[in-house]
Amino acid sequence: MADVRDSGPEAFAPAVERYLAYLANERRASTHTLAAYRRDLARLASLTEDRSPAALRSHDIRQFAARLHAAGLGGRSIARVLSSWRGFFRWLVRLHGLPANPVEGVRAPRAPSRLPGVLSPDQAGALLDAVPDDVLEVRDRAMFELFYSSGLRLSELAGLDLLQDADLAVGEVTVTGKRGKTRTVPVGAKARDALQAWRAVRDQLAARGESALFVSQRGGRLSTSMIGRRLERWAKKQGLAVHVHPHMLRHSFASHVLQSSSDLRAVQELLGHASIRTTQIYTHLDFQHLAKTYDAAHPRARRKPGKP
């Protein structure tokens, strides 16, 4: 095909656009995923030095990865870039006659393992037990209670509509996650109480006809970036000594449920993970919690006063 075999950096453009359309229409990729693929493939096009996709070989891809590493990109970021490139070439091989995928077998530099940050149960309580001072904080407390209660993704929380409020009232909510997959998760009593308080004052902010459950001071749907800023502000106001971001509440939900239940499959379903391997990271967090308990409680683990 012309877009694969023609030379020049412009040869990438038609193929990339068709690939992104495929991801959007056939794979139902999110807007954020499509934007990330576009950035990664634009980076590939800039590294090719006038070569078409069909002209690239594995040693070229390794060289590109080395250049990204030399430019300061970390191993985790390079792995994500390579994954985007690998998917693009896999699509060209399967549907457009490219002889081979040059990214297969190419691996990023190993990145240090980094576990997600979580709040302790006491920190979560301190964050969520505060009394709101105004209507905006009534909204904020309802959002953060729901975040922690149900382990929602940030985009799922921002996308909630009033039509889902009836489900929230009876203790559950159905959300649409990655790749258009829906799941129903429980909503705890404290979150339901906070949502009821918000629902009672929502009309003070909401524009007429606005369908969003959580609205901004201007009356429209609250953006994901604003939710993050409001959470950071709320955490500082409560005196938490850690940087609290939206995904930390989801991580904390998963870690605390796993600590209490040890049911990895249930946590996978609640989080909406496609693979159990993604959920297994929380078993490491759980082990850290158990190890600290052991160090504090076991007579052979405790250090005697004055001993190093």
Active-site annotation holds for 307: no
Cα-to-chain-centroid distance, residue 35: 14
Look up 302 and say whether it is catalytic.
no
Catalytic annotation, pick one of 139, 221, 256, 273:
273
- From 233, 245, 247, 289, the catalytic residue: 247
Active-site residue flag, 148: no
User: Is 153 among the catalytic positions?
Assistant: yes
Distance between terminal CA atoms of the chain? 70
Is residue 178 part of the annotated active site? The answer reads yes
Q: Which residues are CB-contacts of 262 (< 8 A; sequence separation ≥ 6)?
A: 286
* Active-site option among 37, 141, 148, 153: 153
Q: What CA dihedral angle connects 55, 58, 59 and 65, to 10 degrees?
A: 110
- One-letter amino acid identity for 77? S
**Which of 178, 190, 199, 289 is labelled catalytic?**
178
Distance of CA 120 to the CA centre of its chain: 20
3-state secondary structure at position 182: strand
Long-range contact pairs involving 238-245 (C-beta distance under 8 Å, separation at least 24):
238/126, 238/127, 238/130, 239/126, 240/119, 240/123, 240/126, 240/127, 242/117, 242/119, 242/123, 244/119, 244/127
How does DSSP assign 243-297, residue by residue?
Answer: ---HHHHHHHHHHHHHHHH--HHHHHHHHT-SSHHHHTHHHHHHHHHHHHHHHHH
Question: From CA 251, how far away is CA 118, in angstroms rounded?
Answer: 6
Catalytic pick among 192, 202, 230, 250: 250
Active site residue 243: no
| Residues known to be catalytic | 153, 178, 247, 250, 273, 282
